[in-house]
Structure 1
Amino acid sequence: MNAIVKVENVGMSFETKKGSFIALQDVNLQIRTGEVVSLIGHSGCGKSTLLNLIAGLTLPTSGVMLCNGREIAGPGPERAVVFQNHSLLPWLTCFENVYLAVERVFSTKEGKDKLKARTSEALEMVHMTHAAHKLPHEISGGMKQRIGIARAFAMEPKILLMDEPFGALDALTRAALQDELIGVMAKTGATVVMVTHDVDEAVLLSDRVVMMTNGPAATIGEILEVKLEKPRNRLQLAHDPHFAECRAAILEFLYQKQMKKAA
């Protein structure tokens, strides 16, 4: 399977009052088309920094970032981002929030009827048709994230980038949205890169889990292949020995890194 994203010897540093801060160093990663990859590690290990580099929101200070064989020089419609904060415009309805993204991507190719149809299909995919004409303040946090996911998928991106999309939600809502996302990913076949702190979430959703070393000068410590058949059922996986092995391997890596950090 071809790599849609290539990260080659990438480093990222920021200038501070105390001098240069090296966030990432010598990061190498290839993400295959249709693959779901999670980035996990302790706070400050550069997970979100790496995600922002793939999104083109920031540019690396060294190394090369490629998407579809082209250098990533900025944001692009082939890469959609879902943040932990839903980032919906409060004065627009749920339908209008999704439509705005659809219009920006497809308005030169399609008429208004087709754009509205795309918007409706995206809302239906995340089961939010009933809230289409509500404003963001009229719906729950979990519903807002559903709209954010619908907006991202409505753009038909080649890559969906998610920065802890369920981190601010309660456990039951998070589990429901994870299951929802599994269904949406199965329908679209999109390539997904997700930042998470949740070990169970990483194993449940991912084909590979990329474990980051502690910062500063963080890099990739280990990459774990999750060899579980899809679609995945969380209740069945609770008793699956490979799920338990993957979970234990990630926890062991994170615990060892935490002990080194404490030392």
Structure 2
Amino acid sequence: MKSLVQIENIGMSFETKKGPFIALRDINLQIREGEVVSLIGHSGCGKSTLLNLIAGLTLPTDGALICGGREIAGPGPERAVVFQNHSLLPWLTCFENVYLGVERVFGTKESKSKLKARTLAAIEMVHMAHAADKHPGEISGGMKQRIGIARAFAMEPKILLMDEPFGALDALTRAALQDELIGVMGKTGATVVMVTHDVDEAVLLSDRVVMLTNGPSATIGEILEVNLAKPRNRLALANDAEFIRCRAAILEFLYQKQVKKAA
């Protein structure tokens, strides 16, 4: 499988009043086309920092990041981001929020009718056509996240970056959106990098789980291959031996690091 993103010897530090704070060090990772990679670790281990570096929202202190053969020097339409906060504009309808992203990417290449069709297709993909004319204030948190995901996929990015996209939702809504995302990823074959604190979510959605050591100076501790057939069904996996093995491996890593941190 072809590598889409190369992360080579990345280090990230921030200047503080007490001197430089080293958030990440010696990060090396290759992300293949069409795979789903989760970043997991304790709070403060630099998961979101690493995601922001891939997004181009911040630039590394050391090393290089390459996407599609080009160095990442800033944000770009080939890398779409879905944040924990849906980031929808409240004065626009759901349709208009998705259309705004589509127009920015394809506005100079396609007619308005094609842009509208592309927007509607993305909204239908997340089963939100019934709310296309509603404003964000008129729909639930889970529905807002669906629209945020639709906007990201509508831009047809090479890679979708998700920073705890379901973290603020209740357990039932979170599970429903995870299942929704499994369906969307199956249809699009998208490459996804996702930050999560949820071990079950990481195993359910991912091809690989990247486990980061505690910060400061966090680095990659282990990478777990998740050998589960797709599409995945959460109920069928509840007693699956591979699911249980992967879950236990992540918990063991996190527990060992937590004990070390506490000591």
* Corresponding position: 1:23 with 2:23: yes
Deviation string, structure 1 residues 77-99 (Cα, Å, up to 9, x no partner): 00000000000001000000000
Residue-pair matches, total: 263
- CA-to-partner distance for each residue in 1:161-203, whole Å, 9 max, x for gaps? 0000000000000000000000000000010000000000000
SS in structure 2 at match of 1:28: strand
CA distance in 1, matches of 2:13, 2:2: 30
- Report the CA distance between 1:69 and its aligned residue: 1.3
Cα distance between partner residues in 1 of 2:92 and 2:155: 18
Q: Distance in 2 between matches of 1:77 and 1:136?
A: 23
CA–CA separation in structure 1 for the residues paired with 2:209 and 2:230 = 16
Quote the Cα distance in structure 2 between the aligned partners of 1:229 and 1:86: 30
Give, as a single letter, the amino acid of the residue that structure 1 aligns with 2:201. Answer: E
Distance in structure 1 (CA, Å) of the matches to 2:24 and 2:66: 17
1:79 maps to a residue whose letter is R
* Distance in 2 of aligned mates of 1:17 and 1:116: 50
Aligned to 1:9: 9
Residue 2 of structure 1 and its aligned partner are, at CA, apart by: 1.1
Equivalent residue runs for 1:1-263 within 5 Å: 1-263=1-263
CA distance in 1, matches of 2:131, 2:260: 48
Measured after TM superposition, the shift of residue 18 of structure 1 is 1.2
Give structure 1 regions of 4+ aligned residues with deviation exceeding 3 angstroms: none
In the alignment, the residues of structure 1 paired with residue 217 and residue 63 of structure 2 have an alpha-carbon distance, to the nearest angstrom, of 14
Tell me which amino acid in the other structure corresponds to 1:241: A
| 1:207-248, Cα deviation, whole Å (9 max, x unpaired) | 000000000000000000000000000000001011000000
Shift of 1:35: 0.5
Separation in 2 of the partners of 1:190 and 1:126? 15
Matched residue SS, 2:167 = coil
TM norm structure 1 = 1.00
Residues in 2 aligned to 1:250 and 1:44: alpha-carbon distance in whole angstroms:
17
Structure 1 residues 41-81: Cα deviation after superposition (integer angstroms, max 9, x where no partner): 00000000000000000000000100011100000000000
Secondary structure, in 3 states, of the residue corresponding to 2:250? helix
Distance in 2, Cα, partners of 1:144 & 1:192: 20
Gaps of 5+ in 2: none
Query: Could you tell me how far apart the structure 2 residues matched to 1:111 and 1:68 are?
Result: 27
Please report how far the alpha carbon of residue 29 of structure 1 lies from its aligned counterpart in structure 2 after TM superposition. Answer: 0.3
3-state DSSP of counterpart to 1:197: coil
- Report the residue type matching 1:99 in the other structure: Y
* Distance in 1 between residues matched to 2:64 and 2:122, nearest whole Å: 34
- Name the CA distance, whole Å, in 1 between partners of 2:192 and 2:182: 11
| Whole-angstrom distance in 1 between the partners of 2:80 and 2:186 | 17
Determine helix, strand or coil for the equivalent of 1:63: strand
Secondary structure of the residue aligned to 1:200 is helix
Instruction: Give the whole-Å Cα distance in 2 for the aligned partners of 1:214 and 1:165.
Output: 22
The 2-side partners of 1:94 and 1:64 are apart by 37
Provide the rounded CA distance (Å) in 1 between the counterparts of 2:89 and 2:24. Answer: 32
1:120-145 deviations in whole A, cap 9, x for unaligned? Answer: 00000000000001110100000000
Report how far residue 151 of structure 1 moved.
Answer: 0.2
- Partners of 1:13 and 1:70 lie apart in 2 by 23
For residue 25 of structure 1, give the secondary structure of its aligned residue in structure 2: strand
Say what the alpha-carbon RMSD is for the aligned residues. Answer: 0.4
Q: Tell me, which stretches of 5 or more residues in structure 1 are unaligned?
A: none
> For the residues of structure 1 that align with 2:203 and 2:80, how far apart are their CA atoms?
22
